[in-house]
Structure formats: structure tokens, C-alpha cells
Amino acid sequence: MITLVKRPTPSRLWIVLTPLVAVLLTMVAGAALFAMLGKDPIEAIRTIFWDPLFNPQFAAYSRPQLLVKAGPLILIAIGLSLGFRAGIWNIGAEGQYIMGAICGAAVGLAAYPIDAWWVFAAMVLGGLAGGTAWAMIPAVLRVAFKTNEILVSLMLVYVAENLLASMAVGALRNPEGGGFPGSRNLSQYPAAANPELIAGTGMHWGVVAAFIAVIFAYVILSRHMLGFQIRLTGQSPRAARFAGVNAARLILICLGISGGLAGLAGLFEVSGPAGQISIDFGSGYGFTAIIVAFLGRLNPIGILLAGLLMALTYIGGELAQFMLGLPASAIQVFQGMLLMFLLALDVLTNYSLRWRKRETA
């Protein structure tokens, strides 16, 4: 019989090892899944993990995609991780992402066709404000009325999606678009565009922002009082109260930061890779970022790596659908397995396994 024995202190080795073992187990279980679907498992795994980066036929297209996809995931996940660390659960990043895109794009579209450097700067502020404001709704409701921020933030995603649809066909619709839904294409309006900064890398301002966010979060968590208060509140709320942490202020700050970063991610997406406000702009980055945050162990560096890995499975998954005819749902199962293995192995950080003979009752 296997028993779990609590470790005196969390194992540093397993904190590092868990994600790696989880990826490995996911590959094994994924290979079995693909084999059952009648595909060559080795080839499927290679198509997902190897080809996007190193296959000369696809790499030219898919390598830049890695940063394009990882950028928003990392940016959003960093914001979420601060709240998650404090036990503040913002599940509605997708809504804040959409609201950031709408507000930022609205600023750019209002300025059209002015050609000045401040247009893009104003759009960034608009995106930041949109996401922050949307996250402030669950934050203020929780502080004032003790509502559950999980439910409120999640419900507001659906509100944001409907708002997006109405914007795409209403207020923000391209007046020169012949009545088709969708706004002007911001990427074709130079003052408002978020272009690829270095050709062939996929690097745009959103990716830069993501890297800055990683550094910012790392410094906050390890060297600033705010980070200490966040960690303390998450680990022992009562000790945090004793240490004088203002819980209401922390809720506002954490939801504000995560909403703001999600809004920024939306703005950079709508002005760059997506180009316009359209009905199907919401692509699920806000939800996937939750997985990325946990896959990265709520640690900034971990989230950076997890974001890249998640982006890889997206790109590789698409490639596998296209090349091997794997169903899209098989790819989603594959991504789900990754999170499941990670959470299941998580127990090893705080517990060690012992084999023990069954005791006679």
C-alpha cells in the first residue's frame, strides 16, 4: 500500500521537477491516446513539440507564432498569478482582455486618421483602463458586499463577449466596410498599429510588455512589501491580518493589476495580430492563462516557460490537426492532461511516497 507522508519542509527538488515530469507523463499518455486514435504516436508527439520549432518546412511560419501566442498568455497569467498567490481568484481575465481590446481600439478608432505618436500611447492607456475597470467590478463588489469574485468575474466574461459582438456590428463597425461586421483594421493604420518589431520573430509590443511584466512580478514578489503581503495573505490570512495587511486594499490591487494586464494583452492583440475588433475576437487566452499560471507554479519565471510551452502545444496542435488529421478535441484533451498531471504531481512537493505493507486490521 502506498502512503503519503508529509515532508517537514516543501521539497525544492520537486518544485522544479514536477512540471518537467508532468510534461513527460503528458507525452507518454498523449502518445497512448494518439495510438488509440490510429495515428503514429511518435510522429504525433514530434509534430506537436518538434516540428513547429525545427522542421524547415514549417518553422519559418510557426516559430514567430510562438511569441505571438505566448505573449498574451504570459501577460495575463502574470497578473492572475499575483491574485492567485493571495487567494484572490480572478477567473474572468477573458472578459478583461476583451474589454481592454474594445476600449483601446475605441481610442484608436476615435483618433483615426490622426498620425501622431500619442495615438498608440493613448490606446495603451485605454486598454489598461478598460481591463482594470472591468476587474474593479468584482473587486468592489467583494470588498463592499462580500460577493464571490470567482462568480462575478466569470459572469462578466459573458457580458463582455456580448458587448464585443454589439461593438463589432455597432459603434465600432468600419464605416467603409460595406456593412460587414468588424472595425477598421488597426494594423493598417500606422499610428495605431502594433507591428512585428523584429522581422521573423513574432516580437511585438505585447511580447515586450509580457517580458517587462515577468520582471516586474519577480521584483514585486521577492523584494517588495506588496509581494510579501500577497504571499502572506495567500498562505495564512490570519497571520496577514496580524501583520497589518489591509485585505480590502489587497483585493483591489490584485484584481486591478490582473485586469489591467489582461486589458493590455487585449489591446496589443487587437492592434497587432488580430488587427480589428470582430465578433470572434475573444480567443480564450484569458482562460488558457489560468492553466499557464498554475503550470508555471504561480512563479514569474515558471509562467514565462509555461506560456511558451502552452503556445507550443497550440501551434503544434494545429499542425498535428493539419498534417495528421488529429481531431481538435484530442489536442484539447492533450492540453488538459498536462494540467491534470501537474496538479496530481503537485502533492509530491509537500508529501513523500512510502511503500508500506498492508496492516492487518
Partner 1 sequence: MRDRDGVTALLTIDGLTKAYPGVVANDSVSFSVRAGEVHALLGENGAGKSTLVKMIYGLVKPDSGAMRLGDAAYTPANPQAARSAGVAMVFQHFSLFDALSVAENVALGMESPPKMRALSAQIRKVSEAYGLPLDPARTVGDLSAGERQRVEIIRCLLQDPKILIMDEPTSVLTPQEVEILFKTLRKLQSEGTAILYISHKLEEIRSLCDGATILRLGKVVGTCDPKTTSARDMAEAMVGSALHVPQASPSPKGAIKLEVTTLDLPAKAEFGTSLRDISFRVKAGEVLGIGGVAGNGQDELLAALSGEALSAPHAVKLGGTPVGQLGPNARRKIGILAAPEERLGHAAAPDMSLTENALLTGAIREKLTRNGFLKWRDTEAFARRIIAGFDVRTPGPDNAARALSGGNLQKFVIGREVLQNPEVLIVNQPTWGVDASAAAAIRQALLDLAASGAAIVCISQDLDELMEISDRFAALNEGRLSVPRPTRELTIDEIGLMMGGAGDMDVAAPEVLA
Residue with Cβ nearer partner 1 (195 or 241): 241
- Number of Cβ within a 10 Å radius of residue 267: 35
Is residue 3 at the binding interface for partner 1, with CB under 8 A as the rule?
no
| Contacts to partner 1 from residues 6-45, by CB under 8 A | 8-10
Q: Shortest distance, CB of residue 340 to partner 1, whole angstroms?
A: 24
Which range binds partner 1 by CB under 8 A, 3-11, 111-119, 198-206, 293-301? 3-11
Cell of 50: 518538434
Which range binds partner 1 by CB under 8 A, 1-9, 61-69, 209-217, 339-347? 1-9
Q: Shortest distance, CB of residue 240 to partner 1, whole angstroms?
A: 8
Cα–Cα distance for residue pair 172/270, rounded to 1 Å: 13
Cell of 261: 494586464
Residue (of 263, 304, 260) closest to 285 by Cα position: 263
Is residue 351 at the binding interface for partner 1, with CB under 8 A as the rule?
no
Residue with Cβ nearer partner 1 (148 or 236): 236
* Site pattern 205..244 for partner 1 (x: CB under 8 A): ------------------xxxx-x--xx--xx-xxxxxxx
Residue with Cβ nearer partner 1 (176 or 359): 359
Residue with Cβ nearer partner 1 (118 or 242): 242
Q: Shortest distance, CB of residue 16 to partner 1, whole angstroms?
A: 17
Cα–Cα distance for residue pair 76/257, rounded to 1 Å: 10
The residue type found at 163 is L
CB neighbours of 188 closer than 8 A, spacing ≥ 6? 275
Sign of CA dihedral 29, 31, 35, 39: positive
Residue with Cβ nearer partner 1 (188 or 222): 222
Residue (of 333, 331, 335) closest to 317 by Cα position: 331
Residue with Cβ nearer partner 1 (146 or 238): 238
Q: Shortest distance, CB of residue 10 to partner 1, whole angstroms?
A: 7
Cα–Cα distance for residue pair 309/345, rounded to 1 Å: 18
Q: Shortest distance, CB of residue 9 to partner 1, whole angstroms?
A: 5
| Contacts to partner 1 from residues 175-194, by CB under 8 A | none
Tell me the CB-side half-sphere exposure of residue 294, using CA atoms within 13 A: 17
Cα–Cα distance for residue pair 192/194, rounded to 1 Å: 7
Q: Shortest distance, CB of residue 225 to partner 1, whole angstroms?
A: 5
Residue (of 301, 299, 264, 305) closest to 285 by Cα position: 264
Q: Shortest distance, CB of residue 5 to partner 1, whole angstroms?
A: 7
Is residue 249 at the binding interface for partner 1, with CB under 8 A as the rule?
no
Cα–Cα distance for residue pair 71/154, rounded to 1 Å: 22
Residue with Cβ nearer partner 1 (188 or 235): 235
Name which position in 246, 301, 328, 332 contacts partner 1 (CB under 8 A). Answer: 246
Q: In sequence order, what DSSP letters do the residues of 129-175 get, joined into one string? A: HHHHHHHHHHHHHHHHH---HHHHHHHHHHHHHHHHHHHHHTTTS-T
Q: Which residues bind partner 1 (CB under 8 A)?
A: 5, 8-10, 223-226, 228, 231-232, 235-236, 238-244, 246, 359-361
